[in-house]
């Protein structure tokens, strides 16, 4: 299953990158995040493997995230005409996901975020996946909207306003 979602964020790309890169901010916009801890490597850098735990209702999901691309390596001095790319693989029981994030300047005070996602399933999830496509897309869009609300307005998902 593959899909792509795009969203404009009313902030300069440099500020968007700062907010996305800071692990202290993740719980403020990544709904349900319990923990995100590097097991090997440096947070956010290519090759880093992290254990990530989410809570959704009464269910807890644990997965392993591996950063597979960060281009360019130094994200803070990138010319405005060049897009920034982050890619990661996420593996959980019955699921593999490749997430490809692209950040482009849409203007001096605006960033275009394009998120391309690819999922593969095995076991019982393989049978259910075709029926869950809409839920996966909705979930990805909600994460992006939560980040946008946090970045633009300081909205924290843990404060029950969403």
**Per-residue pLDDT tens over the stretch 24-45:** 999 999 999 999 999 999 998 9
Strand pairing class (95-107; 84-92):
antiparallel
**CB-based contacts of 93, cutoff 8 Å, min separation 6:** 123
**What pTM value is reported for the model?**
0.88
> Which of 10-19, 37-46, 51-60, 80-89 has the weakest average pLDDT?
80-89
Cα–Cα distance list, 95 to 61, 78, 84 (Å): 11, 34, 26
- The per-residue pLDDT for 72 is 77
Over 80: is that where the pLDDT of 73 sits? no
Domain limits, the chain: 2-32+68-155
Q: What is the domain class of 2-32+68-155 according to CATH?
A: alpha beta
Mean pLDDT computed over 48-71 = 94
Query: For 119-143, how does the pLDDT look when each residue is reduced to its tens digit (9 = 90+)?
Result: 999 988 888 887 888 999 999 999 9
Residue (of 3, 1, 14) closest to 109 by Cα position = 14
Question: What gap in Å lies between CA 13 and CA 27, rounded to an integer?
Answer: 21
Query: For 90-124, how does the pLDDT look when each residue is reduced to its tens digit (9 = 90+)?
Result: 999 989 999 999 999 998 899 999 999 999 999 88
């Amino acid at each position: 299953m593959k899909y792509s979602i795009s969203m404009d964020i009313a902030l300069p790309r440099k500020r968007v990158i700062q907010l996305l890169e800071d692990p202290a901010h993740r719980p403020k916009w990544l709904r349900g995040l319990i923990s995100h801890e590097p097991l090997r490597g440096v947070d956010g850098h290519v090759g880093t493997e992290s254990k990530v735990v989410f809570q959704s209702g009464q269910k807890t999901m644990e997965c392993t995230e591996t950063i597979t691309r960060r281009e360019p390596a130094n994200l803070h001095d990138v010319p405005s005409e060049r897009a920034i790319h982050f890619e990661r693989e996420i593996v959980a029981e019955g699921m593999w996901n490749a997430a490809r994030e692209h950040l482009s300047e849409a203007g001096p005070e605006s960033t275009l975020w394009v998120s391309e996602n690819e999922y593969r399933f095995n076991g019982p999830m393989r049978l259910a996946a075709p029926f869950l496509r809409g839920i996966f897309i909705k979930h990805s869009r909600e994460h992006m909207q939560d980040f946008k609300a946090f970045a633009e307005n300081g909205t924290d998902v843990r404060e029950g306003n969403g």
